[in-house]
Structure 1
Amino acid sequence: MSPHRFRQYRAFDVIMQTGSVTRAAEAMHISQPAVSKLLQSLEDDLRIRLFDRSRRRLVPTAEAARLHREVEQLLLSANRVDRIASQIQGASGGEFRISALPMLGARFLPEAISQFCEQQTALRVSLEVDVSRQVRAQVLSGQADIGFAHLSSGEEHLVRQPMAFIPGVAILPHGHRLAALPTVSPGDFEGESFISLGRENRLRDLVDGLFEAHEVTRDTTVETNLFESACALVGSGLGVSVVDLISALSVKDHVVVRPLYPTVEFAVEIVRPISSAPSALVDSFINLVHERLEIYLRSTLVRPGDL
């Protein structure tokens, strides 16, 4: 497509949105005759009458409405290409884009990013926190250089690197009867008011499976799709729950955290575009994350060797 044709389509789109050549000229910051010329040349080139001018105002024809739907998609795609080009340009100049699931994106990764930025000069970092499905989509589309997501079964277009198995722990309101125990077991939850993950969260199956295996009946009081929300609800005294260790530690001042044995483990992996070139910057950050996670787990109530 020639630059002139693109300007024609741009003028046509603005006219369709504003309803007049005058307002289109104002929006495009060019003269009214220039907009009229672009519109007239587009109609001549396409041999399509786009507007009815018999009533002293522009009335779009049926053909214009049909063409405009396609032009809108064209311009949206062009804008998306511009954004991606800017992101690529930023990355080559020292920008690092990270996408992560809430388990890591709420507290753990911000702390790691802070340390990483102290070691790097002129580095710009963006952190997007979303569900694992969207994390993978952002990495696949080039909107993120690296992603942290729950382990999934097979994604052929991503480089997948196991990161860790985060243990589940029990979280309890202060003063709860189970808070007096050094370690809790699934059987201790019998009959307890329980804050559960939403049914759409596939990790709920792991927790439910643990209690079903031990024939434990809980009274599910509230369902929520985020571990962080479950922690907050437990802190309010509404019930007890089982969440990942990292999320629990982010609210340990508001709840009682106890090791759970036997427990479940939440598998987390690192994903990168399969077409991405090797990056010393990304590799350095991954190494830092691994180091911090090992220290993080070893310094907590639950140690990997105890599970």
Structure 2
Amino acid sequence: MAASPKDRPVANPLRAAGSDDYSTLENDDSAGSAKRRRRSRWMLALAVISLCALGSALAVVFRKQVLAACYRIGRLPPVAGGLLFSGLLALWLTCLLPTSLLEIAAGFVFGFFWATVWSTVGKVAGSVLSYWIGRCARSSVRRLILPDDTSKEHGYLRGLEIAMTEEPGRTCLALRLAYVPEAIQNYVPAIFDAPFIPFLLATTGGSAVYAALWANLGASIGDVAELSATERRMTPEKTAFLCFGALGLGCVFGLIHWNTQRTLRRFADLQRQLSPPASPSASTAVTPGRPSLTPRYSSTEGSSSPGRLV
């Protein structure tokens, strides 16, 4: 009498037990890796927020010295002063410091047009420098926050990566207009493989918009004392800044969601195209030892009779 499948002995019990242990260890290791990545994301986010908050505090504490330096730069010849201001703004931006105070001061010192030009040049230069710094640190940061197989990653990080590769121009522009720190606007595209040319074009366009807003505010200021107090007062230009930022942030999340859904649909269509079609014999196959639920008929070729039930 043949042994039933339940009664058949295991060929190698030690190997089977070992495979179970290995699978358990792999599951524990993957769970631990996910926890470490989650913890690394929170630590990285807290570090960025802390650095931006520290930069804002330093800018507020030393705003008088910064404004005095900008005023001395404005007394230089136009081109030399503008280039020096752009270099200062680029260094300021690379150090994760808020640029709004310098851009307002540029409007007061250079006037609306030239302040917009020099502020845009400085912000683009600082953003490009930050982008390349982010590219150099890309591998280390990705190991901290993303798994080796990024297809296992879900949520907005995966959606942001898809958006940066599928629609880099729109995503970078929406991120540039969003009300988020400029460190995020510069380092996120670098970490998530956004091409350089779309990043550069989006940075130039977004920087010019806000440079014009802050330059217009600075050009309307009468003296240095009013300039020092402007940073803490709500103005129509600041209201427009907040509206543009909220709209840009909404566009970022909308693009991420749209690109994620579109990519998932495309992957599903590709999987359906690559899957082999079901053979006709597979649909009529009968499991051994079990009777068929479909009656089979036999008919004689050329006969019009329906045949007999088998």
Alignment TM-score > 0.5, same fold: no
TM-score by length of 1: 0.25
Q: Which has the higher helix share?
A: 2
Q: Which has the higher strand share?
A: 1
TM-score by length of 2: 0.25
